Structure 1
Amino acid sequence: MLARQRQAVILEEARRTGAVRVSDLVGRLGVSDMTVRRDLDVLASRGLVEKVYGGATSVVGKSTDEPGFEAKSVRQRAQKEAIAEIAAGLVKPGTAIGISAGTTTWTLARALDSVPGLTIVTNSIQVADVLRGSSQPDRTVVLTGGVRTPSDALVGPVAVNSLRSLHLDVVFLGVHGMADGPGFTTPNLTESETDRALVEAGRRLVVLADHTKWEIVGISTIADLDEADVVVSDDGLSERAIEILREKAGELIIANVPGDDE
């Protein structure tokens, strides 16, 4: 089992039970005490668990916690880049697409520069800034109006009304969390309404979410798991998460992230 896969298993267990013990993880994962402790160090450095004597406890943010764009942009960069590369391959020249706010969708926007003839609708200031610098002369970028959130999304009635009149080929959605039951969620009530309007404008829905989003639940649901035509995640996703997503989503694509260690 690769390091990211081990860490996903540890994180999922910590969130399920509230705490994990090094001794239990050694037996479950079949690795050394030191390997488990290194995995816990990695998870703790990301703020996902809190190390305690003999193990770690879960650190689950409030369902309304919403880190700013800059804070989120430094997390899981390699995973986001691998996910974005796959997602960009799903975009056909000459189509109309929607891109929601988020750091993974922002990474996707940067990967779209070589695709000609696109019309792109977004409620993200950051995504629009990237697209504005495109080398493609035939690109059209539509930025919705609205009220700005901590994640640089434009939300509210103005954004919703502008989206409800549009018809898009594909919508790429970034999410705060995904879980069996709650589905794809956000910590911002107003943003969830805007995201739902964006989802409804598209014929196909592609959700971009790295493995750390699994079992994170925001206050409001954007879409159920089975509403996604495609989910693109990374190889740190736990086996249980893979099983659920393959059962409920239309298709699950796993991005291989370079640099896996022990």
Structure 2
Amino acid sequence: MATQRQEQILAVVRVHGAARVADLVESLDVSDMTVRRDIAELARAGLVRRVHGGAVAPDAAGRPTDEPGFDAKREWSGPEKQAIARAAAASVEPGQAIALSAGTTTYLLAELLAADVSLRPLTVVTNGLRVADVLHHAPSSAGLEVILTGGVRTPSDALVGPVADAALANLRVERAYLGVHGLDADGPTTPNLAEAATDRALMASAAATTVLADHTKWGVVGLARIAPLDEVDTLLTDDALPDEARRRLADLPVHLSLAPLGAAQ
């Protein structure tokens, strides 16, 4: 039975890029502890990589040039991203013009902004197709203005390149909320060179920048550096961030904000 369960878990990871413990408990009709044991066995064999709340493909976010698709990344660290999105939404005020980069955490933030009519009027600039789509389909669009940059589409549904960069160069917003692929003491990174340049243009358009990155992204390094951490005003992550990371960040000129995972409930 254990072998059969592990084969099913592995099949989910191979198809979707990730598997959540909660989903596996339901589909396999076994306990949380059993699923976690199976994931641990698969991880020891090098077939998956354990992350908080589940498992991902062994090379997911592991090589500097890997760029997982939006749907695969959406399965990773769901509760953490939800907590971060809620904390970010609480910092948005009516009448602001803000920018949201492409990404799964910024997508969750966009869902909250779309649903909260108390934040109207609000202007949102984005280079994220999924972000723009969820804002476009807000229950009420009154007072909500969405500006979508043009550009070349990436596997993560970001619009990047000279067209996006030029559009952002002519805009000014109060705060940019930046989703990232990876993060370390040197700053946020992405596997895509063009996306790094567009993210820098997005930061340049903003009076302040908040990086949204769940704790599993600490230590993940993509090919292209977006910016050093001293150019980031706030790092908004979740309270499962390792102590080692907190110590490193304490010595850097960036405000660290920890979203409690309970906020995702």
Question: TM bucket by the smaller chain?
Answer: 0.7 to 0.9
Shift of 1:49: 5.2
Map 1:1-262 → 2, pairs under 5 A: 38=37, 41=40, 44=43, 47-48=48-49, 61-113=62-114, 114=116, 115-134=119-138, 135-181=140-186, 183-258=187-262
Shift of 1:247: 2.7
Q: CA 1:237–1:39 in structure 2 vs 1: closer, same or farther (change >3 Å)?
A: farther
- Deviation at residue 136 of structure 1 after TM alignment: 4.0
Return the TM-score normalized by structure 1. Answer: 0.77
Are 2:175 and 2:210, in contact at CA under 8 Å, matched by a contact in 1?
yes
What corresponds to 1:7 in structure 2? none
| Shift in Å, 1:223 | 1.2
Higher relative contact order (CA 8 A, sep 6+): 1
Q: Which SS does the other structure have where 2:64 is aligned?
A: coil
Q: Distance in 2 between matches of 1:259 and 1:250?
A: 23
Residues 132-161 of structure 1 show CA distances to partners (whole Å, capped at 9, x for unaligned) of 122240111000000100000001110000
Identical positions, percent = 49
Q: Which amino acid aligns with 2:213?
A: A
Point out where structure 2 has 5 or more consecutive residues left out of the alignment.
1-32, 52-57
Question: Which sits farther off after the overlay, 233-242 or 58-67?
Answer: 58-67
Q: Secondary structure at the match of 1:218?
A: coil
Length, aligned pairs only: 218
Q: 1:132 to 1:256 in 2, by over 3 A?
A: same
Structure 1: unaligned runs, 5 residues or longer: 1-33, 51-57
Alignment deviations for residues 74-122 of structure 1 (CA, whole Å, 9 cap, x no partner) = 1111110000000001111101100000001101101113121111000
Give 2:224's aligned amino acid.
S
Q: 1:249 to 1:173 in 2, by over 3 A?
A: farther
Partner SS state of residue 262, structure 2: coil
Distance 1:126 1:203 in 2: 24
Question: Aligned with 2:146: secondary structure?
Answer: strand
Distance change (3 Å), C-alpha of 1:49 and 1:79: closer
